[in-house]
Amino acid sequence: MHKSSWPIIIQQILIWGFGWLLILIILNTGAGFDSRFWTKSILIVLGSSVVVLINLKILLPILYFQKRRGAYYISAIALLFMIVWGIHSDALSWNKQVQKREQIENYGDSATDSQFRWLIRNLTPLFISLLGSSIVAVGAFAREKERESVMLEKAKLQAELKFLKTQINPHFLFNSLHNIYALTIIQSDLASEHLLKLSELLRYMLYESNEELVPLEREINYVENYLNLAQLKDSRGMDIKFNKQLRGKQIEIAPLLFIPFVENAFKHSKIEDVQKGYIHLELSTSDKELHFEIENSNPKNVYQKDQVGGIGLNNIRQRLLLLYPESHNLQIEDSADAFKVQLSLQF
């Protein structure tokens, strides 16, 4: 349940109470400030203060913010009339004098007419105080909900990123270790080189990617290590290409931004098919934009090595919306023979 804090309530009371007092003083300039003026002004200030207090502390949090809008409107109207009739009640001795003077000034009016005239005249500032304090409170409530939503989405994003780190495909890791071991058996000089690549890949994924932004070169190195290790499993060679055209200033991006697309390509491309399987990547940059493109073969028979690893394309879209809300463009084309992803980031 949302409740306004006391500093905010006191601030609103001061704004509306003294605001009306100032308005009344300005409107009454030249007519004099007798005891009747101050009596009426103090009643309006007190009435608006009570309206604002009850509205912010009780009606809005208990009714309006709990989506009981009908009950809120009825209660708000009842509150206004209760306070108006309360401060104009004949039980208050000073009201008799005020009403009597109102009746004298408006000769011919009955006591009831005079009281009704005063009631309507002073109902207006109370209603405006109620409406104004509600608008301010509802606006603050909406902003708070938006902040909470953003915080929840960011928390979800961080959880998904951590999940992504732990979800490096176990088959990929196992195959990499197995292939490196095979290289050691034949005493290949490539064994130590690929072991270093695996070490760099794990270090980046587990430690360096904790930063909000990383240099683009580190992200590229991570992807290249992944591609190199993946190609160890087939000595015949795979149709995997990664073309880069880096121009302009040094760029920093969110970590692990490309790897979900790469993992998705390996899962669905049937890259082991030497004749038809392929994965082609392109990356280009300028001072103001980055463009990443990955295309893989799309075999007619649905092919997926396993269900483990990655966070899914829907979650990637959500992550991009949070990280680059107004500065990204993601296009996905799924045709009969190819699956293509194009991602553009503006800086």
pLDDT at 258: 92
What sign for the dihedral angle of Cα 296, 299, 300, 301?
negative
Q: Kindly state whether residue 139 falls inside one of the protein's structural domains.
A: yes
Residues 189 and 315 in one domain: yes
Tokens read off for 30: 């030249």
Taking alpha carbons only, the member of 264, 244, 254 closest to residue 311 is: 264
Q: Kindly state whether residue 103 falls inside one of the protein's structural domains.
A: yes
Average pLDDT, integer, range 228-254: 86
Minimum mean pLDDT range among 95-104, 155-164, 221-230, 290-299: 95-104
Average pLDDT, integer, range 137-142: 88
Domain final residue pick, 109, 130, 157: 157
Residue 224 has pLDDT above 90, yes or no: yes
How far is it, in rounded angstroms, from Cα 109 to Cα 113? Answer: 6
Residues 190 and 111 in one domain: no
Tell me phi and psi for residue 331, to 5 degrees.
Answer: -125, 135
Residues 116 and 139 in one domain: yes
Residues 296 and 334 in one domain: yes
Residues 135 and 246 in one domain: no
> What is the tens place of the pLDDT at every residue in 21-52?
888 888 777 666 777 678 778 888 888 899 99
pLDDT at 9: 85
pLDDT at 309: 43
How far is it, in rounded angstroms, from Cα 250 to Cα 287? Answer: 8
Residue 251: CA count within 13 A, CB half-sphere: 22
Q: Kindly state whether residue 162 falls inside one of the protein's structural domains.
A: no
pLDDT at 39: 75
pLDDT at 22: 87
> What is the tens place of the pLDDT at every residue in 57-90?
999 999 998 889 999 999 999 998 888 877 766 5
Q: Kindly state whether residue 35 falls inside one of the protein's structural domains.
A: yes
Q: Kindly state whether residue 153 falls inside one of the protein's structural domains.
A: yes
Inter-residue long-range contacts of 192-199, CB under 8 Å, 24+ positions, other chains counted: 194/228, 194/229, 194/232, 197/225, 197/228, 197/229, 198/225, 198/229
Residues 266 and 312 in one domain: yes
Domain final residue pick, 99, 124, 157: 157
Tokens read off for 219: 């992200």
Average pLDDT, integer, range 197-214: 83
pLDDT at 264: 87
pLDDT at 342: 96
Residues 56 and 174 in one domain: no
- For the chain, the domain total comes to 2
Residues 133 and 196 in one domain: no
> What is the tens place of the pLDDT at every residue in 243-299?
999 998 889 998 888 988 998 888 888 887 778 889 999 999 998 899 999 999 988
Residues 150 and 198 in one domain: no
Domain final residue pick, 123, 157, 191: 157
Reported confidence tier of residue 107, pLDDT bands at 50, 70, 90 = very low
CB 126 within 8 A of CB 84: yes
Taking alpha carbons only, the member of 267, 314, 321 closest to residue 294 is: 267
Minimum mean pLDDT range among 101-105, 130-134, 157-161, 269-273: 101-105
How far is it, in rounded angstroms, from Cα 277 to Cα 297? Answer: 5
Q: Kindly state whether residue 73 falls inside one of the protein's structural domains.
A: yes
Taking alpha carbons only, the member of 138, 125, 139 closest to residue 49 is: 125
Taking alpha carbons only, the member of 235, 173, 163, 182 closest to residue 201 is: 173
Percent of the chain with pLDDT over 90: 25
Residues 237 and 320 in one domain: yes
How far is it, in rounded angstroms, from Cα 236 to Cα 215? Answer: 34
Q: What is the helix (H) or strand (E) element at residue 121, kind and residue range? A: helix 111-166
* Boundaries of domain holding 71: 6-157
Cα 344–Cα 219–Cα 322 angle in degrees, nearest 5: 50
Instruction: Give how far Cα 291 sits from Cα of 159, 189, 284, Å.
Output: 27, 36, 5
Residues 198 and 316 in one domain: yes
pLDDT at 321: 82
Residues 92 and 175 in one domain: no
Residue 340 has pLDDT above 80, yes or no: yes
Q: How many other CB atoms sit within 10 Å of the CB of residue 138?
A: 14
Q: Identify each DSSP E strand in the chain by its residue range.
A: 214-215, 240-246, 252-253, 279-285, 289-297, 328-334, 338-346
Residue 101 has pLDDT above 60, yes or no: no
* Gyration radius of the chain's alpha carbons: 35
pLDDT at 59: 92
Q: Kindly state whether residue 44 falls inside one of the protein's structural domains.
A: yes
Q: Kindly state whether residue 254 falls inside one of the protein's structural domains.
A: yes
